[in-house]
Amino acid sequence: MRAAADDHDQTAVRAVFAGVARRYDLANHLLSGFLDTRWRRRTVARVAPRPGERILDVACGTGALTVELARALGPDGEVVGVDFCEEMLAMARARCMPGSAGRPMAKVEWRTADAQRTGLPDAAFDAATCAFGVRNMMDRLPVVLAEMRRVLRPGGRVGILEFSLPRRRLLRHAEQVWLAALVPLIGGCLTGRFGPYRYLGRTIRAWDHHVDLSAELRAAGFVGAVARPMHGGIVTLHQARRA
């Protein structure tokens, strides 16, 4: 019964993202005050891609972080973007069409796959990233982290960027009001779909209340886990490495 429930949940989440794929990037820019680009670039800087490396971007969505990684790597590296929503990957492929990158970048491969079972070989990557994806897999988080660890080489880095709630009481209250009232209104008006943005607020609150990602990373066999809040704690970059 649990497997059936998980399959149902994944189908529902896939439908959420498929429904907003065409305006997903625009909504993210506006809802974050155009800070989302800065968050991704800081993530890339912290992961510190090196020439010739292979990097896996899990739950890559429309490929915003994937392309930033490819630009940082330069022409000698490779980035693999994995997502289970084909509609999001269609937008990612369009982002990476010939002539769209602006400067030499690493080879990019897009794969339709579940983050729990990527189908990629063991110890094939130097780093693995995920931006705003693991929150949608809370009930399967140990499996997802184990899969990320499996595909990393010893010493491989992991960087997970995720929403969070500020620790300061006033900021935390303001963020909760924003998530509960304004995000569904603005996101719904931009995309014509209000449900996905109500879902966004619910999952951020649940994530903050129930998940200690540093502890989860350690339990999955990573070492050196550290959490780096950004912009008052509305997002947090989690880093660790495979022992």
Output the CA–CA distances (angstroms, integers) from residue 203 to 29, 139, 198, in the order listed: 19, 11, 9
Helix 195-210, helix 183-191: angle, nearest 10: 140
Say what the pLDDT of residue 6 is.
Answer: 45
Say what the pLDDT of residue 99 is.
Answer: 53
In a domain, 160, yes or no: yes
Say what the pLDDT of residue 196 is.
Answer: 83
> Whose structure tokens read 């960027």?
161
In a domain, 109, yes or no: yes
In a domain, 173, yes or no: no
Q: What is the rounded radius of gyration, in angstroms, for the C-alpha atoms of the chain?
A: 17
Helix 2-20, helix 24-31: angle, nearest 10: 80
Output the CA–CA distances (angstroms, integers) from residue 123 to 65, 127, 152, 157, 241, in the order listed: 22, 10, 4, 12, 13
3-state secondary structure of 237: strand
Say what the pLDDT of residue 160 is.
Answer: 98
Of residues 117, 108, 112, the one with CA closest to residue 54: 108
Say what the pLDDT of residue 2 is.
Answer: 25
In a domain, 175, yes or no: no
* CATH at residue 44: 3.40.50.150
CA–CA distance, 82 with 234 (Å, rounded to integer): 25
Q: What is the pLDDT along the chain (243 residues), one digit of tens a residue?
A: 222 334 447 787 888 888 888 888 988 898 898 999 999 999 999 999 999 999 999 999 999 999 999 999 999 999 999 999 999 999 999 987 655 556 789 999 999 999 999 999 999 999 999 999 999 999 999 999 999 999 999 999 999 999 999 988 888 989 988 888 888 888 888 888 888 888 888 999 999 999 999 999 999 999 999 999 999 999 999 999 999
Say what the pLDDT of residue 97 is.
Answer: 67
Number of domains in the chain: 1
In a domain, 201, yes or no: no
Give the predicted TM-score (pTM) of the model.
Answer: 0.90
In a domain, 85, yes or no: yes
Say what the pLDDT of residue 100 is.
Answer: 54
In a domain, 28, yes or no: no
Q: Which residues form the domain of 61?
A: 2-21+34-167+212-242
